[in-house]
């Protein structure tokens, strides 16, 4: 009882000010993270709805639910929303925004106003994209390949591309803010090699955002000019080269895969350590593997152009280089596994998600090697094999990690625990639903089912039905956390400062944290994942 009373009186970032204005004009990184949570949840729901319609259409071999034009718009808008408005901002802008400053012992990011600006940019970009969808949609695929996007498509390419262009600046500013924050805002004693691996991974992610995103920005700018003024830069009729567009596009969009998955790895490192109660095995290797992924990720984009008319020699070089990305990714997987060895493992919900991530990311990563090899890719390119591959990485990897991270830090962000039983059940439902949805797609692709078709031959129906059934299970799995998280805000048990017995600085301040994160800026005298100084707090079931 006493704990609850104190919690109610203490000033936190949530009760320091009230009213819509105090949220929309906030400069507090924690409140901005909450704004992002709400925003990307809405985008996830929109993108998920498009996915649901796609799976519904594919229940039967005939194109009976929607026309082929509508189907083209559905998969385009699913991709655009999920990639640019959900996955890219997902973990960095929410969990990263909230916890990166706390983990390094800072009061805020280096540039709080720029942080708020980047949220508004995401909203503005999203507004353009949603306008395009409401007005009639866009059908180019999320990749905007020229000359279809510049000369032939009659849909809302300009509004969508403008939306992505603006959202790109949001991503750049978040990355810039993180880079400067990690360099300049660390607490006394927080040296680079005491940083939690979450911070290392986010630092690497930020470098990719800063170095890659401007290229897609200028590429979309050229596409806009070309579409408005018929310039010819990507138009083969005038001597332009559509493959140049693909180079520019994938120079960003391959590294963008790591913008999406590196923050997931960041979350997994924290969870695996906490629930094994051991430091992450080979800390320095894991830290540098993040940096290696960021660098090598920029050298491999040509593997998306194997069948696009790129020179064969370039194909060889890019195929060869692509294999190198597997090394740092494997280092991470091996080191997480080694961390479990002889750890005192507890199977709380975040840990279940972490196990899910490690297994599914491994499958996604290994099938990535299939499509990175030139000879194999010629056969499976543009089939469901590729779809399954990147959904194993993006959904099985990033979204698993995102959900694991939200469960893990929920008590810190809200001061309340979610119901553990429901959470475990939903983690299981998501895992089963995910595999049922996407594993059949590997087989479909291997058998030759091409992507982006809304009609298909009879023999594929069984696998498509399995996949659609899995999608409905997955949808149930995603709706469950939405319900019990909202429930827990009011009725969840009060969490205390450190319910997991975790070691990071963010757990050494009350939950929810005060406005400036710490009552006193900590002086760091211990390494990351040092459990000898940790005192876990009890969860008090008196929350009402």
Partner 1 sequence: MDTSSTHLETGAAHEAETLALREQFDTEEQQRDAATLGMWVFLITEILFFGGAFLAYTIYRSSYPAVFGLASSSLNLPIGATNTCVLLLSSFTMVMAVRAGQLGQRKAIIIFLIITMFFGLAFLGIKAYEWTEKFEEHHVPALSNFFLEGTSLQGQAKIFFSLYFAMTGLHALHMVVGVGILLFIIWKTSQGTYSPEYYTPIDIAGLYWHFVDLVWIFLFPLFYLIDRHLPR
Partner 2 sequence: MNQHGEPSHHVDSVRTYVGVLIALLIATIVTALVATLDLGPFNIIVALGIACVKMMLVVLFFMHVRYSTLLTRLVMIGGLMWLAILLLLSFVDFGTRGWIGVPGK
Applying CB under 8 A, does 213 fall inside the site for partner 1?
yes
Q: Which does residue 109 touch among Cu ion, partner 2, partner 1, none (CB within 5 to 8 A, set by kind)?
A: partner 1
Q: Which does residue 219 touch among partner 1, Cu ion, partner 2, none (CB within 5 to 8 A, set by kind)?
A: partner 1
233, HSE (Cβ side, Cα atoms, 13 Å): 19
Nearer to Cu ion, 248 or 528 (CB): 248
In sequence order, which residues have a C-beta less than 8 Å from that of residue 260 and are 6 or more positions away? 83, 87, 88, 90, 393, 394, 398
Query: Which pair of tokens denotes residue 15?
Result: 């009760």
For the chain, what is the total number of helices (H) and then of strands (E)? 18, 0
Radius of gyration of the chain (CA): 23
Nearer to Cu ion, 26 or 329 (CB): 329
- Residue matched to tokens 């693909």: 246
Could you say which residues in the range 245-264 bind Cu ion, by CB under 5 A? 254
Nearer to partner 1, 184 or 490 (CB): 184
Asked if 224 and 161 touch (Cβ cutoff 8 Å), the reply is: yes
Q: Which of 158, 514, 526, 531 binds partner 1 (CB under 8 A)?
A: 514
CA 424 to chain centre: 21
Query: Which pair of tokens denotes residue 463?
Result: 């696998």
Asked if 181 and 104 touch (Cβ cutoff 8 Å), the reply is: yes
Query: Which pair of tokens denotes residue 510?
Result: 């009350």
Asked if 374 and 359 touch (Cβ cutoff 8 Å), the reply is: no
Task: Kindly state the smallest distance separating residue 301's Cβ from partner 2, in Å.
Answer: 8
Give the x/- contact pattern for partner 1 in 399-418, rule: CB under 8 A: --------------------
Nearer to partner 2, 317 or 432 (CB): 317
Applying CB under 8 A, does 183 fall inside the site for partner 2?
yes
- Residue matched to tokens 């091996």: 334
Applying CB under 5 A, does 389 fall inside the site for Cu ion?
no
Asked if 459 and 440 touch (Cβ cutoff 8 Å), the reply is: no
Task: Kindly state the smallest distance separating residue 210's Cβ from partner 1, in Å.
Answer: 5
- What is d(CA 405, CA 407) in angstroms, rounded to the nearest whole number? 5
Query: Which pair of tokens denotes residue 57?
Result: 């259409």
Q: Which of 134, 237, 284, 312 binds partner 2 (CB under 8 A)?
A: 312
CB atoms within 10 A of CB 305: 18
Give the x/- contact pattern for partner 1 in 182-211, rule: CB under 8 A: -xxx------------------------xx
Applying CB under 8 A, does 247 fall inside the site for partner 1?
yes
Q: Which H/E stretch holds residue 451?
A: none
Task: Kindly state the smallest distance separating residue 127's Cβ from partner 1, in Å.
Answer: 22
Nearer to partner 2, 104 or 132 (CB): 104
Q: Which of 3, 14, 17, 131 binds partner 1 (CB under 8 A)?
A: 17
Applying CB under 8 A, does 313 fall inside the site for partner 1?
no
Task: Kindly state the smallest distance separating residue 229's Cβ from partner 1, in Å.
Answer: 4
Applying CB under 8 A, does 305 fall inside the site for partner 2?
yes
Give, as one character, the DSSP assignment of residue 150.
I
Task: Kindly state the smallest distance separating residue 121's Cβ from partner 2, in Å.
Answer: 22
Nearer to Cu ion, 180 or 376 (CB): 376
Nearer to Cu ion, 185 or 314 (CB): 314
Q: Which of 81, 217, 372, 386 binds partner 1 (CB under 8 A)?
A: 217
Task: Kindly state the smallest distance separating residue 528's Cβ from partner 1, in Å.
Answer: 22
- What is d(CA 182, CA 100) in angstroms, rounded to the nearest whole number? 8
Give the x/- contact pattern for partner 2 in 198-237, rule: CB under 8 A: -------------x---x----------------------
- Residue matched to tokens 């799976």: 55
Query: Which pair of tokens denotes residue 428?
Result: 């299981």
Give the residue from 360, 377, 198 showing the smallest Cα distance to 271: 198
- What is d(CA 49, CA 43) in angstroms, rounded to the nearest whole number? 10
Task: Kindly state the smallest distance separating residue 491's Cβ from partner 1, in Å.
Answer: 28
Applying CB under 8 A, does 239 fall inside the site for partner 1?
yes
Give, as one character, the DSSP assignment of residue 383.
B
Give, as one character, the DSSP assignment of residue 57.
H
In sequence order, which residues have a C-beta less than 8 Å from that of residue 205 and are 6 or more positions away? 92, 96, 175, 178, 258, 259, 262, 263, 266, 294
Interacting residues toward partner 2 by CB under 8 A: 183, 211, 215, 243-244, 247, 251, 298-299, 301-302, 305, 309-314, 317-318
Site residues (CB under 8 A) for partner 1?
11, 16-17, 21-22, 25-28, 106-112, 172, 176-177, 179-180, 183-185, 210-215, 217-219, 221-222, 225-226, 228-233, 237-241, 244, 247-248, 251, 514-516, 518-521
Interface residues with Cu ion (CB under 5 A) are 254
């Amino acid at each position: 009882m006493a704990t609850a009373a104190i919690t109610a009186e203490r000033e936190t970032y949530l009760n320091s000010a009230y009213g819509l204005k105090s949220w929309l004009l906030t400069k507090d990184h924690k409140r901005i993270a909450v704004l992002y949570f709400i925003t990307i949840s809405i985008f996830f729901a929109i993108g998920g709805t498009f996915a649901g319609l796609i799976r519904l259409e594919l229940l039967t071999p005939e194109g009976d639910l929607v026309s082929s034009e509508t189907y083209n718009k559905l998969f385009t808008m699913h991709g655009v929303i999920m990639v640019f408005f959900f996955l890219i901002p997902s973990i960095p802008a929410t969990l990263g925004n909230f916890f990166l400053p706390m983990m390094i012992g800072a009061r805020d990011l280096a540039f709080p106003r720029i942080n708020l600006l980047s949220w508004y940019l995401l909203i503005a970009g999203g507004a353009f994209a949603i306008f395009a969808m409401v007005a009639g949609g866009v059908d180019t695929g999320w990749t905007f390949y020229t000359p279809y996007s510049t000369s032939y498509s009659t849909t809302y390419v300009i509004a969508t591309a403008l939306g992505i262009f603006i959202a790109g600046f949001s991503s750049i500013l978040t990355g810039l803010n993180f880079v400067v924050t990690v360099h300049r805002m660390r607490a006394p004693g927080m040296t680079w090699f005491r940083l939690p691996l979450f911070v290392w991974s986010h630092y690497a992610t930020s470098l990719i955002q800063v170095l890659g995103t401007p290229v897609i920005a200028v590429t979309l700018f050229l596409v806009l000019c070309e579409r408005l003024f018929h310039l010819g830069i990507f138009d083969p009729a005038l001597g332009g080269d559509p493959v140049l567009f693909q180079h520019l596009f994938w120079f960003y969009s391959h590294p963008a895969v790591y913008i999406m998955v590196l923050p997931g790895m960041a979350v997994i490192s924290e969870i695996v350590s906490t629930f094994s109660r051991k430091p992450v095995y080979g800390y320095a290797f894991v830290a540098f593997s993040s940096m290696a992924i960021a660098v090598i990720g920029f050298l491999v984009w040509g593997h998306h152009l194997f069948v696009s008319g790129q020179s064969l020699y370039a194909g060889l070089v890019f195929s060869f280089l692509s294999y190198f990305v597997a090394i740092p990714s494997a280092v991470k997987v091996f080191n997480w596994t080694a961390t479990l060895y002889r750890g005192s493992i507890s199977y709380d919900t975040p840990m279940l998600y972490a196990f899910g991530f490690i297994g599914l990311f491994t499958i996604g990563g290994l099938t990535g090697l299939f499509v990175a090899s030139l000879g194999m890719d010629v056969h499976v390119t543009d089939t469901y094999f590729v779809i399954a591959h990147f959904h194993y990485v993006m959904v099985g990897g990033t979204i698993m990690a995102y959900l694991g991270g939200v469960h893990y830090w929920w008590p810190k962000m809200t001061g309340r625990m979610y119901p553990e039983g429901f959470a475990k059940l939903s983690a299981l439902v998501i895992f089963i639903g995910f595999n049922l949805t996407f594993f059949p797609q590997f087989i479909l692709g291997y058998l030759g089912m091409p992507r982006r078709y809304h009609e298909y031959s009879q023999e594929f129906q069984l696998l498509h039905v399995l996949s659609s059934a899995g999608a409905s299970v997955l949808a149930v799995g995603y709706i469950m956390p939405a319900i019990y998280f909202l429930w827990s805000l009011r009725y969840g048990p009060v969490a205390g400062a450190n319910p997991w017995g975790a070691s990071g600085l963010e757990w050494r301040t009350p939950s929810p944290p005060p406005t400036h994160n710490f009552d006193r800026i900590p002086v760091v005298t211990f390494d990351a994942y040092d459990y000898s100084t940790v005192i876990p707090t009890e969860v008090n079931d008196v929350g009402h």
